[in-house]
Structure 1
Amino acid sequence: MATDASVTLESRIKGAIHGVAVGDALGGPVEFQRRGTFGKVTGYQMNMNFNLPPGCWTDDTSMTLCLAQSFITARTFSALDQLQNYIAWHKSGYLSVSDYCFDIGNLTLQTLGYWNSRLPRKNTNESSSSHSDHGPISDEALATLQTNLNKNFKRSIFCGNGSLMRTVPIGLFYFSSSPEEITKYSHLASELTHPYPTNGEACAAYCILVAYTLSSSPNTPSKQDMFAKFKEFQFDDPTLKSRFETYDTLADIRDRPEKNISSSGYVVNSLEAALWAFFSTDSYQEGCIRVVNLGDDADTVGAIYGGLAGAYYGLDAIPADWKEGLVKKEVVGRIADELYQVIIEREQQNQ
């Protein structure tokens, strides 16, 4: 499929949100399975890991929707609101495909447990959670809590992909902002559950790419332009720097053999796998099939790929049967619609 040279901002924003959900739902059934041990995934399947019907998304999409919903509600970056949404998802199934939390990463579980015991709970339209005994909390108190969390979890052993998988709304909401501002908010959003700098830098590089696709609308940048934008990012983290400095040209990543791509839950591997699938294919569908068939953490690499590819190719480029086959597609659609409206309002106010 040739890339449409003209993709609207609306299509890119909605494509990114739907792209996460579709990639997640396609990869979910082969999560935890070693590459080559399952039949090729080309459409939705029953998720036997959690006894879910075809088209069900997992925690990757739920947390992405929670972050997007925070921007819709708060109209700005609110760490407290984001955390309250995540806690409502974990405790009461808010924005879950199944109305309960059936899958959560180990670090996310630990850090949300920390926040849950210290923050006021909020009621949500889709959550029956009641308010906790905690009263209002100031920004200063929240910052102190973050500092204390960092003492336990800001370590190199805590470098899973749990913040990268949900981060695409940062790139969408701040698409017209400077790379420095996008980097700032990427780190702030990541550190709520994944405070080690490797996680924040991976989120920042990814969100800058997402933002670049939106800021180019209605024109579509070439994959060469996208690769050049990625190479502009200056990694400070030594692991990320060494991993990606080996790619001097687009051909280097495009032609990298699949056997050299890991789809584990390590954030560096997850970012590389998603970018490899994006740069080595020419359509949302082709890249999505390629990335989820890597297996292992297939739902998450699918979601990460899907957010970027959905923003790049646009909503219409995602196969119609994949969009229609999503369970609770109306929830994904509503949040995509409302996020687009909030972003447009923000852009108009900033003009």
Structure 2
Amino acid sequence: MANLNKDILLGTAIGDALGVPVEFEHRQELGKNPVVGMREYGTHNQPKGTWSDDTSLALCLAESLCKGYDLSEIGNNFVKWYYEGYWTPHGRVFDVGVTTARAISYLQSGCKPELAGMDRERDNGNGSLMRILPLVPYILNMEVEERYKIIGEVSSLTHRHPRSILACIALCEFAIQYINQQSCEKAYQTMQQILLQLLKREIFIEEDVPFKRLVGLSYNEFKAIELKDIRSTGYVIDTLEASLWCIFNTSSFKDAVLKAVNLGDDTDTVGAIAGGLAGIIYGYDTIPSEWINVLARKDDIIELANRLDAAKG
């Protein structure tokens, strides 16, 4: 776990880049012509190795954490990304979610960062879940309540509904518990215990139905969910479930991210999150070199991870 920042940042970027050319393609189409490596052009007409808003915003978060935790600074980086092309692969934004774009416009006009995010039930896309994993090394050794507070604030920059916040807590806690216990099954079980406790709190009391499978199914039952019952849409619960399911049903970085991308629909985000988790589990050095070699701004991403390491040290 010495290279946790590289594991997460490179894993996220690679999974995202694999998914960008086939975003919105249906599962049936990908079944006939599955993604087996880096493609170019496709949905967004981008060169091979290009990552999307998922990785850009994750890198904006990571960049800010080099100086410590400052929610306003993270928000400023999001604004610079959207309006100036900061931490984009090729100098301009080509993909952004509606909820995220609206929240960033509020940030740009001076809204308090903790209030910028949308909080309606319809605002539960995966736009905060997709960028949350770089928090993990920073909050790893904090008290649990402090972890929950920071995760909630960082989600709320764009996604302030309790469901999105709880999904971000679930993902980060799964990652933290894996780091601590080195077992997907044990990490999942501990995550379930955390969710069950949090669902009793007033803020999350109405979220039991969306999290029904994640708290109600054992590890083996969740792992055994049939492909047809895994949804890979942009809805935050679908994305969280799909990412974990891909991790549980594979045994290498390569297989995890390819399974994620070939689910179809929101391929870049499911790929990015599965990639971040797979990076933690298998290490960035297990990522195929032919993928790393074509990754946009790979040296900049590695340099950022090194700066994060130095900041924590």
* TM-score, structure 2 as length reference: 0.92
Residue aligning to 2:215: 245
Distance in 2 separating the partners of 1:333 and 1:105: 26
Q: Which residue does the alignment assign to 1:306?
A: 275
1:28/1:57 contact within 8 Å kept: yes
Deviation (angstroms), 1:310: 0.7
Q: Name which of 155, 160, 174 aligns with 2:120.
A: 155
Letter in 1 for 2:186: D
Q: Is the 8 A contact 1:11 1:316 kept in 2?
A: no
Q: Is contact 1:14–1:340 with CA below 8 Å preserved after alignment?
A: no
**Deviations 1:307-350, CA, capped at 9 Å, x for gaps:** 1111121111222222222121112111111112222x2xxxxx
Task: Give the corresponding residue for 1:230.
Answer: 191
Q: Which region of structure 1 is more displaced relative to structure 2, 266-275 or 234-243?
A: 234-243
Cα deviation digits, residues 56-107 of structure 1 (max 9, x gap): 11110000000000001x22x2111001101101011100001111111000
More helix by proportion, 1 or 2?
A: 2
1:340 corresponds, among 282, 300, 309, to 309
Question: Counterparts of 1:1-351 in structure 2 under 5 Å?
Answer: 9-38=1-30, 39-72=33-66, 74-75=67-68, 77-118=69-110, 142=112, 146-147=114-115, 149=116, 153-215=118-180, 221-234=182-195, 235-236=198-199, 237-248=207-218, 250-343=219-312, 345=313
Could you tell me which runs of 5 or more consecutive residues in structure 1 were left unpaired when the two chains were aligned: 1-8, 120-141, 346-351
Query: Where in structure 2 are there 5+ consecutive unaligned residues?
Result: 200-206
Please identify the structure whose Cα radius of gyration is greater: 1
Tell me, what secondary structure is at the counterpart of 1:213? helix
Partners of 2:122 and 2:154 in 1: CA distance: 19
- The letter of the residue matching 2:71 is A
* CA distance in structure 1 between the aligned counterparts of 2:170 and 2:215, rounded to whole angstroms: 13
> Quick one: which amino acid aligns to residue 322 of structure 1?
W
> For residue 188 of structure 1, what is the amino acid of its counterpart?
E
- Quote the offset at 1:215 in angstroms: 4.0
Quick check: 2:210–2:237 contact (8 Å CA) kept in 1?
Answer: yes
Query: Following superposition, which runs of at least 4 residues in structure 1 exceed 6 angstroms of deviation?
Result: none
Q: Is the 8 A contact 2:155 2:168 kept in 1?
A: yes
Q: What do the CA deviations read for 1:20-65 (whole angstroms, capped 9, x no partner)?
A: 0000000111101111213110101013222211111111000000
User: Which residue identity does 1:305 align to in structure 2?
Assistant: A
User: Which deviates further from its counterpart, 279-288 or 268-277?
Assistant: 279-288
Report the aligned-residue RMSD: 1.6
Q: State the distance in 2 between where 1:323 and 1:261 align.
A: 29
Q: Secondary structure at the match of 1:233?
A: helix
| CA distance in 2: counterparts of 1:279 and 1:328, whole angstroms | 30
Q: Matched residues in 1 for 2:225 and 2:167: separation?
A: 20
Q: Tell me, what secondary structure is at the counterpart of 1:96?
A: coil
Structure 2 Cα separation of the partners of residues 71 and 214 of structure 1: 20
Query: 1:179: how far off?
Result: 2.6
